[in-house]
Amino acid sequence: MIWLMGLAGAVLARRRVAALHSQARPLAAALLLMAAGGSVWLALELTDRPRVSAGFVPSEPPNMPIGEGRGVYPGRVVWVYEPDVTRWDGRTGDWWDDENTDPELTDLMVSEALRSLAGQRTDAEAWDALFRYFNRTVNGVDRGYQAGEKIAIKLNMNQDRNNGAPWRLGAGMPSPQVIHSLIGQLINVVGVAGRDIVLYDATRYIGDPIFDKIHYDANPEFQQVRLVVVPWMAINGREKAYEGTGAFVHFAYPGLPNGGNAWVARCAVEAAYLINMALPRSHESFGMTATAKNHFGSIKFPEQPWGPGPLHNTGGRVVPLGTYSCLVELIGSKHLGGKTLLYIADALYPAVDNSGEVIPFRAFDNDWCSSLFMSQDPVAIDSVCLDFLGDEPASLYVQRGLGLDNYLHEAALAYDPPSRTLYRPDGIPLPSLGVHEHWNNPIDRQYSRNLGLDAGIELVAVRLRRAGELDADLVSDGVVDERDLAAFCRGWLAVPGDSSWSESLDLSGDQRTDFRDWASLAREWGGRTRPWEMNAGPDRGRAALYEGR
């Protein structure tokens, strides 16, 4: 009832605000809008609470970071959300068709993610910063990419098991458009030769939607990209996976075959850099899969088929905090996580779980997630993925799990983990492998660095900028109305460091959400965006014109 009264007051005030605005009286409109905001703010204070997930319970309170952040900007995770990239109606064609997943918008999402992650204005500068950070920290030399260096991209092809058969309707697979965008960046921006790029999953097949998207590109460099798959499915232009000579990951769990030593795929061993392209989703055995578990498709134990095999017995959906996790050794291995330049979580069309079909998420207004995550910190990006999945009621194995963040604690504190395990995948102790924490709540989605602290995760939310876009459209629905007013009221009088601070609310750019920002909101009140034109931005070279939904 309180909320309805507050909203009713805001709606009545809106009509008067619009009239004042049309009479060129923005100050009066702003004052009246403040009064309307007061009613909404009071209602929010009394009735609004952060959305609580159906069942997921983190192992520790919010904003308690552990471990050391990695990356050009330590602990940074970029989240690009673009609802217009996904257009599938669930019936017409397949979701991976270009008509249903916009390739131009995918290109823009990948570009903006790279620039935001590296803090650079151009794609070329962003890649150079990422390579230089990696080479400084791993190889002790300040240099970018060198011609001839190989790059392996680990895909999660877990659902592609049918030896070349077409993907079933709604299958949970990597987005061919994201893969094409990534390879286009490597070839056209970084200057990597196609023959030096390999896509692989040593335990599965890589289906035609991906193969055709790459090899039927008119650029001959794309046609030289290699695809490596499980040996018995190496048909139709795919290559067999082989073991890397003398390249093992050691797992400390007792009773594993070969003393706990598993071979690593040769294509990964021979690469100078890896890119881990994961599919974040609920998982029936481990509760959740993201970038760490993606490397189950990179290993095999001697005398056993390709795959993690016995490692499935080392985890579960319910584990006490302080339990051994094989995922730590995958993250820390010099052949896998130790040579990973970039982590990507493809969440354009997440599947309900590791074997199910893609589904709209209730947490995204019953629409597709339409999201891309990117980081140089393996622990931070998996922590963010877990928080997003934990906010989705349909992610049942996450909702029913307990201790799903155990491996993130173990990895963040790998040098002295809660389990007291001696993690030595390469024979030497591990340092911290990244930073872990949980966000403050699923509404504001703020981590410690977002709150002004010099530790923890920083989640950078990115929107594709559009010509004619309204600054005060805070909820990105194409109109400035009561929903934006409600969002604004939550951050009233906030400054950087406050839990309610959000840079998007600081419309005047003075590092404070106050009366100047109210006036900006009043000026745009009732405004609507026009059909959108993508801003090409620096070094973009083109713009994509499309209709907003």
* DSSP code at position 185: I
pLDDT at 54: 53
The 10 Å CB-count burial string (b at 16+, else e) for 417-446 is bbbebebebbeeebebbbbbbbbbbbebbb
Helices and strands of the chain, counted as H and E runs: 14, 16
- Map out the domains of the chain as residue ranges: 1-50+473-549, 66-87+109-119+129-138+150-442
The CA dihedral of 474, 478, 480, 483, to the nearest 10 degrees, is: -60
State the Cα–Cα distance between residues 368 and 83, nearest whole angstrom.
7
Specify burial of residue 545 (Cβ count, 10 A radius: 0-12, 13-18, 19+): exposed
With CA atoms as reference, report the closest residue to 371 among 357, 356, 355, 360.
Answer: 360
* DSSP code at position 17: H
State the Cα–Cα distance between residues 251 and 329, nearest whole angstrom.
6
- Expressed in angstroms, the distance from the first to the final Cα of the chain is 33
pLDDT at 108: 95
Specify burial of residue 526 (Cβ count, 10 A radius: 0-12, 13-18, 19+): middle
pLDDT at 495: 87
State the Cα–Cα distance between residues 224 and 101, nearest whole angstrom.
24
Q: What are phi and psi of 535, to 5 degrees?
A: -75, 120
- For residues 350 and 369, the answer to whether their CB atoms sit within 8 Å is yes
Q: Write the DSSP assignment of 50-90 as a string of letters.
A: ----SS---SS-SS--EE---TTTTTEEEEEE-GGGB---S
Note down pLDDT in tens along the chain; length 549 residues: 433 344 444 444 444 444 444 444 444 444 455 555 554 444 443 334 344 445 789 999 999 999 999 999 999 999 999 999 999 999 999 999 999 999 999 999 999 999 999 999 999 999 999 999 999 999 999 999 999 999 999 999 999 998 889 999 999 999 999 999 999 999 999 999 999 999 999 999 999 999 999 999 999 999 999 999 999 999 999 999 999 988 999 999 999 999 999 999 999 999 999 999 999 999 999 999 999 999 999 999 998 999 999 999 898 899 999 999 999 999 999 999 999 999 999 999 999 999 999 999 998 999 999 999 999 999 999 999 999 999 999 999 999 999 999 999 999 999 999 999 999 999 999 999 999 999 999 999 999 999 999 999 999 998 776 656 678 888 776 678 888 888 889 889 988 878 787 878 888 888 889 888 888 888 778 766 533 333 333 332 222 322 332
* DSSP code at position 532: P
With CA atoms as reference, report the closest residue to 206 among 165, 177, 152.
Answer: 165
pLDDT at 49: 38
* pTM, rounded to two decimals: 0.81
pLDDT at 13: 47
